[in-house]
Structure 1
């Protein structure tokens, strides 16, 4: 299949000094993140709202679990999504099919029929698994087409691409949140669907700018193996459909029947991956040591994302119920607070980049930065504990939440870009892609833990919930800091 207007390997004019195809990928990513963050900002609110207010009327614990599992699966599916592109479709088609699936999923959400709604979430997860890892790969492949461009130009291109993520994440909650706050849920979810539709349309129309990138799989699967894979996948899908149909028909089904197997899966995969790598006798001593260091990086990132991503679940519900949002002339929609993080990133990321360049080799190593990030994410929940104690006597100031998101953004900038960078450095060459997959799995694992931890917030006081988790994170961060030198030694020369 050739995407409309595509002319492989034809010279194109530049875009802001970069390959013109970057504009196509930039706006595809921007609109995809617009749909993702716009919907995620209101999802837990909709699930927990009463039927009278247009929601599904679920208990907060159930709503938190559903959104956490959804977040987990979105990142988990990047592994099979990358495999599909590498072996079956190529990155170009994977992104297209993923985008179409995401758009369909969002339209299903806007119908507000429970079975259809949850089917829509599944479709979005599958579509995001195809699109998210492969569109980033296409950015790199686009620069491979232009060896005349300096390496710093590639880095700059990825920075521009990263800005697309935060632009979409900044704008979307402002729109979806406005209508959600007025209980116009169809419109709110519909906005996310329209955003993804824009992504698909401009991706297809901009195909001619991509210079043939991603048209073929990197390592095509032979036809007999392809048929066998399709047969296995179809058989497993059919078996699961029958099992769950019987479960529902017999009246046995509950949310744990979804949550338990998915949590086990998310935990099992990184254990299997690390075990497989450590058993490889071809690994050099230095490579094995670096993978050992990466285990600690993985664990630190898992704890971080477990806390950080509660901004869309537990913290979001806290804002809705316990924060003074009425300004007298206007009530701030709950979802608008979800725009604080991308706004802070857009403001602070250039400052952090300048600081690291200025410090050069004098800057702290990755384990130290990770320890600071974990400590700060713990402190952010300490602030939430204070806010929760104040909320006992009435609504609290919105500035408490702004402070929490500011601290979390600083923590994110210490961990996320640093983690991506060190992942590429620590990974043995033969496991480069799989170790990168493990980085995304850390987010999936953190959210899987949150699916079990988050519901506890409904049963205990805020000061206990946030204070306990915050204290655990601070202690773990201090342990990480004390062990930073040992981890650095395991990193075998990687800074």
Structure 2
């Protein structure tokens, strides 16, 4: 019996809606981590550009949008570090724990009124912590199933529902407290959420996860350790020196930093693909599957570029362009951040049941990606309608925003949980955790692009902004649909 078969045998395979019991542990852990993250993001851009007299930081709105996109990009870019640490040093399970600790510390830092210093300290901890936790939680979900287990896509859809349950609750709690009482109180609830997630993960995981995620896939050899750690120290010193020089010479500007992150967001995934493809540990079949993964990755970059603007461009749209006073009640603009997760909570079980019902007859992965991208493009095109009908100087019905979030959410359910699943299936064995980091780099790349795109949005550019981005999304989705059979051939029997 192989080590993988033994690992699966030791995991309780029934106990959570017909899925392995460990799925509930990971479902709950990610629920609380996402509660903390999206609770913070629901009010962060408002906190940054709100007046100092209102408790905000008074940052220019365009600059705040760029910072939000850079922040989101770095959060997912840091998954490279988390994947490497899991593969070479700690294994997935321990990496998840230490990631949660760093995230909690980041939210605690933002809970205090420390101005820009507290903001950037918090961002550093949350960026590093999410990089350690997020790709490895998804990797352990994949470890609960064999590659040919028909429950796999359904399991990832259920896991994805847990992610969004946390994201759904948090705007009503952290968002309401942040907008109606005090921003820092809202951020404090995010810290509490992560603490709860850590406690449940440690207690529940001992019995439900078996040995899943404990093994270090490609551990550092004793002779490699000194060389690796020396290089890491040199790299850290260089980064610190560059920051100091930038501060002294006043060349470390927000615009310069966003440009750097935008470049890295494109360059790093390319380098990652090249390294995996050229590795001697990657077999011929695995190389073919990596080639199939490239167009899926590009489609995901475009999708996330649209979807992640929900907490940036659409957050501004909700706050500035949407009628928030209805029937004598004022809707906090942060509440719109719950639309995406609430639609996922409603429709994820339907999609999970659909894929399970269809079994081998379900659409191939590239076709699911194509549909997801087309729906994302349409979610922006529908926002053209109120702008063309009433102009951009009048407040619009919140129903337009609801429709936009609804369409992009349907697209997300076609693409994101399926993307998590296909990534674990197409992964070369030597890069089993790191390729999950590569999947999250698609989100990082999309938000890195947004760092340059989102500052262009305002009432005067609204029609062109939503129109151009929406059309690009639809066109790329149609192209992917036409080349889907070719991509499927390169996947060598995997759906």
When normalised by structure 2's length, the TM-score is 0.87
449-458 vs 436-445, which moves further: 436-445
Partner of 2:137: 135
C-alpha distance in 1 between matches for 2:117 and 2:136: 30
C-alpha distance in 1 between matches for 2:291 and 2:151: 33
Answering whether residue 314 of structure 2 is matched by residue 312 of structure 1, we say no
Shift of 1:329: 3.2
Partner of 1:343: 342
Partner of 2:101: 100
SS at the partner of 2:457? helix
Unaligned runs of 5+ in 2: 1-8
Shift of 1:100: 1.1
1:23-55 superposed Cα distances (whole Å, 9 cap, x missing partner):
543332221111011111111111111212211
Shift of 1:428: 4.8
93-102 vs 365-374, which moves further: 365-374
SS at the partner of 2:329? coil
1:264-296 superposed Cα distances (whole Å, 9 cap, x missing partner):
222112212333344468877665444333221
Shift of 1:124: 0.5
C-alpha distance in 1 between matches for 2:358 and 2:174: 41
C-alpha distance in 2 between matches for 1:484 and 1:157: 24
In 2, are the aligned partners of 1:53 and 1:183 still within 8 Å (CA)?
no
1:106-149 superposed Cα distances (whole Å, 9 cap, x missing partner):
011122321121111111010111111223334455x48xx9xx
1:142-174 superposed Cα distances (whole Å, 9 cap, x missing partner):
x48xx9xx9567776655433321211110111
33-42 vs 239-248, which moves further: 239-248
C-alpha distance in 2 between matches for 1:12 and 1:274: 35
Shift of 1:251: 2.9
Shift of 1:92: 3.1
C-alpha distance in 1 between matches for 2:137 and 2:184: 29
After the TM superposition, which residues 42-441 of structure 1 pair with which residues of structure 2 at under 5 Å, given as runs? 42-112=43-113, 113-141=115-143, 143=144, 151=149, 158-182=156-180, 184-206=182-204, 208-209=206-207, 210-211=209-210, 214=213, 217-279=216-278, 287-389=286-388, 390=390, 392-429=392-429, 432-441=432-441
Partner of 1:448: 448
120-129 vs 243-252, which moves further: 243-252
C-alpha distance in 2 between matches for 1:231 and 1:305: 36
Unaligned runs of 5+ in 1: 1-8
- Change in 2 beyond 3 A, CA 1:237/1:410: same
When normalised by structure 1's length, the TM-score is 0.87
Shift of 1:350: 2.3
240-249 vs 123-132, which moves further: 240-249
418-427 vs 46-55, which moves further: 418-427
1:378-423 superposed Cα distances (whole Å, 9 cap, x missing partner):
1110112223443524211111111011111111112112323333
C-alpha distance in 1 between matches for 2:121 and 2:447: 20
C-alpha distance in 2 between matches for 1:152 and 1:361: 8
C-alpha distance in 2 between matches for 1:443 and 1:158: 18
- Change in 2 beyond 3 A, CA 1:485/1:71: same
276-285 vs 32-41, which moves further: 276-285
In 2, are the aligned partners of 1:322 and 1:391 still within 8 Å (CA)?
no
201-210 vs 174-183, which moves further: 201-210
In 2, are the aligned partners of 1:290 and 1:491 still within 8 Å (CA)?
yes
- Aligned-residue Cα RMSD (Å) equals 3.0
Shift of 1:246: 2.7
In 2, are the aligned partners of 1:31 and 1:198 still within 8 Å (CA)?
yes
- Change in 2 beyond 3 A, CA 1:434/1:397: same
SS at the partner of 2:196? helix
C-alpha distance in 1 between matches for 2:433 and 2:492: 20
